[in-house]
Structure 1
Amino acid sequence: MMKFTKLVVPALSLVLCLFVSPSVAQTEFLPGMAWQEPPVVDPGATYEAPPSDAVVLFDGKDLSAWENGENWPVKDGVAYSGKNYLTSKQTFGDCQLHLEWSAPVPVEGEGQGRGNSGVFLMGRYEVQILDNYENPTYPEGQAGSVYKQTPPMVNAMRKPGEWNTYDIFWTCPRFNASSQLVEPAYVTVVHNGVLLLNHFALRGDTPWHRPPQYVDIGPKGPIALQDHGNPVRFRNIWVRELSPPVGEPREPLLWDHGSDEKKPLRALVE
């Protein structure tokens, strides 16, 4: 039966193609949106390089793009976790965030006391940074988790002292005019090229001491890095603000390339 099917199906497909009407073969479906040409973005010479439309928050030179940057040391192109939170001066809505971080060496502590930091979207929603290389902790508090809400799908940690890469894709929560939640925040996290979270819907902010909750703080917020008393290192931090494709609704059309005539799709069923 399998051998027969392999022979018959390609032959049948060929016969059907031969009997397709030339006019049908030249007819193209045009969907119900007239899209603008997407803007051109130079992706950069390497995977880590900022694309041409990125906002560079740290390029190894200084922390002038951040509040409290004077309290986080910068040495040899690397920023070290210092005193209190590091908060971007610029705010962002829907965005793509890239950052690289390294757990401290020599290794000290265990569990939550080892290489602990965090990156906060809109200053409120934490993706955990923690040295989880052969260092277990509670699942919703390990590296790549949405803190106190969900663990990552896998542990993709590199050894302490080696560099980890986070690529985070963030969709802000939506509120109505009365500041009531309409749509939750969503986050996708890629750690060292490995997908950890896939469009996870957050239940609110990410505190340690109470359940999560949503508060309308407006359409944008800062990026923040946490000081948790461990000298976690950071480099190459950039953000791309995301905008959906632009288009105008229109009636779906059928375009006959033979006659160059465009007809509404409804004409096919009338």
Structure 2
Amino acid sequence: MRKSCLLLLGCLFAFGLQAQNDGWTEMFNGKDLDGWKKLNGEAEYHVEDGVLVGVSKDNTPNTFLTNGKTYGDFILEFEVLVEPPLNSGVQFRSLSKEDYRNGRVHGYQVEIDPSTRAWSGGIYDEARRGWLYPLANNEAGRKAFVNGQWNKYRVEAIGSELRTWVNGVNTANLNDDMTSEGMILFQVHSIGKNKDLIGKEVRWRNIRIKTDDLEASRMDIAPYAAEINMIPNTLTDYEKRKGWRMLFDGKTTDGWRSARGQKFPDRGWKVEDGVLTVLETGGAESEAGGDIITEEIFGNFELILDFKITEGANSGIKYFVDPELNKGPGSSIGPEYQILDDEKHPDAKMGVSSNRTLGSLYDLITASNLSVPGNRKPFRGVGEWNRARIVAKDNKVEHWLNGNKIVEYERGTQMWRGLVAYSKYKNWPAFGELPQGHILLQDHGNEVHFRNIKVREF
């Protein structure tokens, strides 16, 4: 009888602990690093007063500490205190494989960024695609992290939905399916040649994870933290609510036609594996299949598309296009988001002050990183998918590249007309001032790939 009572009390005690923890498991015991291992670098880790401490070191690449376990869907919480300006992060769903850059850790990272850029809580794809969710368009998120104090992080990775919070502020909402499971690792960033960063510390505490009953524990996303969907040719429920719709279904050319006719070109373009491709035909402008335009016209709109260029390629995205303006040789007329291999195509060195380079308003305004002044344009490279975004509202227009603003201007102003007067468009009356027009993808005779073309109107 006494034994049965003791068993019953033990069960009740265990149940009480589980209820109290609400399904959370402590990842770090606060005492030692038994079972943990370092990858890639030689930065130091130790335990101090129940806190995990990482210490930067000279002449070593990024260093990662992991318990080696693999996690799929989970909610992770931790607190972090970092010595500025040391950069850090926590990897999740990340991998280390011998057949990928000799074991280089790669995968999602929630950023710890004490710099003036202030992208803490953004999502970076370590050693793979780079920034997936920078905070250039989330001002509330940029203000969440506070230097000199403990900051509480929350990461929800459930299915393809990856969401982050810093001090209760929603910093990132990403939809991506490249990696469904992997390790969680605590990073001490390489310091490069900055000797002043030797010995700087990043500290973590209260590290806990939950892997069951996740739906009931999810937090609501905030209206100021727009969702970014990286899954090609799809619309999430969030995007549908916000008015987004596809301009390319990934299978057909429905909704598109030649800029010089009522049908889609019978050569020069193809659709394959969810990608719309303009084919290589020697580099001439609009002499093969020719430009294609949307059947619809747009005034106030936001356009997103992914593009991938081949070496030396030239193309462009034009908007406010009237195909009747130019019946002669060459491309149809309209403001252009330039798509170009700046390193290999000669057009990059033409024009004025590099205003024909990638992302520029072609022949008018040079693209530069306006989100983080002084940083280079965030181009992922030839052969990689890059995301273009164009926002046009009430004559104000913005170009974005991979989440960073690179051009902004206002049509119809004295400055606008002055720019046009010194460009190749000077002979086109009221160039770029149509209230609405077609969206155009340019055939410049080089192989360029497009996918995930979507739009919403204001």
Aligned with 2:436 (options 220, 229, 233): 220
Partner of residue 318 from structure 2, selected from 120, 124, 149 = 120
| Distance of 1:170 and 1:143 partners within structure 2 | 19
The structure 1 residue matched to 2:453, chosen from 234, 237, 243, is 237
1:143 Cα deviation (Å)? 0.9
**Structure 1 residue 122, shift from structure 2 partner:** 1.4
- Which residue is equivalent to 1:164? 386
Among 236, 245, 267, the residue aligned to 1:55: 245
2:172: which partner in 1? none
1:52-96 Cα shifts (integer Å, max 9, x gaps):
122311131111110033442111111111510110001111100
Aligned twin of 2:340: 130
User: Residue 355 of structure 2 aligns to a residue in which SS?
Assistant: helix
Unaligned runs of 5+ in 2: 1-222, 259-263, 280-288, 322-333, 370-376
Q: Which residue of 1 aligns with 2:283?
A: none
1:132 and 1:157 in contact (8 A); partners too: no
Pair 150,221 (structure 1): closer, same or farther in 2 beyond 3 Å: same
Matches within 5 A, 1:1-270: 46=229, 49-50=234-235, 51-52=239-240, 53-68=243-258, 69-70=264-265, 71=267, 72-82=269-279, 83-104=289-310, 107=311, 114-123=312-321, 124-132=334-342, 136-138=348-350, 139-154=354-369, 155-171=377-393, 185-201=395-411, 203=416, 209-211=424-426, 213-214=429-430, 219-242=435-458
Change (3 A) 1:220 1:228: same
What secondary structure is seen at the aligned counterpart in 1 of 2:247? strand
Residue matched to 1:27 = none
What is the letter of the counterpart of residue 232 of structure 1?
V
In the alignment, is the contact (CA less than 8 A) between 1:146 and 1:206 conserved in 2? no
Q: Greater RCO between the two (CA within 8 Å, min separation 6)?
A: 1
Aligned residue type for 1:140: N
Paired with 1:58 and 1:187, the residues of 2 have a C-alpha distance of 23
Any idea what the Cα deviations from partners look like across 1:128-187, whole Å, max 9, x if unmatched?
111225765341101111111110123322221100101110135xxxxxxxxxxxx321
DSSP 3-state at the match of 2:316? strand
The answer for the alignment partner of 1:264 in structure 2 is: none
Consecutive unaligned residues of structure 1, counting only runs of 5 or more, are 1-39, 108-113, 173-184, 243-270
User: 1:218 Cα deviation (Å)?
Assistant: 5.7
What amino acid is aligned across from residue 87 of structure 1 in structure 2?
I
In 1, Cα distance between equivalents of 2:335 and 2:421: 5
What percentage of aligned pairs have identical amino acids? 29
Quote the Cα distance in structure 1 between the aligned partners of 2:406 and 2:384.
Answer: 19
Counterpart amino acid of residue 384 in structure 2:
E
Q: 1:194 to 1:44 in 2, by over 3 A?
A: closer
Write the distance in 2 (CA, Å) between the matches of 1:86 and 1:206. Answer: 27
Say if 1:103 and 1:160, in contact at 8 Å, map to a contact too.
yes
TM score, norm. by length of structure 2: 0.36
TM-score by structure 1 length? 0.59
Q: Structure 1 241/150 Cα, relative in aligned 2: closer, same or farther at 3 Å?
A: same
Closer/same/farther in 2, CA of residues 206 and 81 from structure 1, 3 Å limit: farther
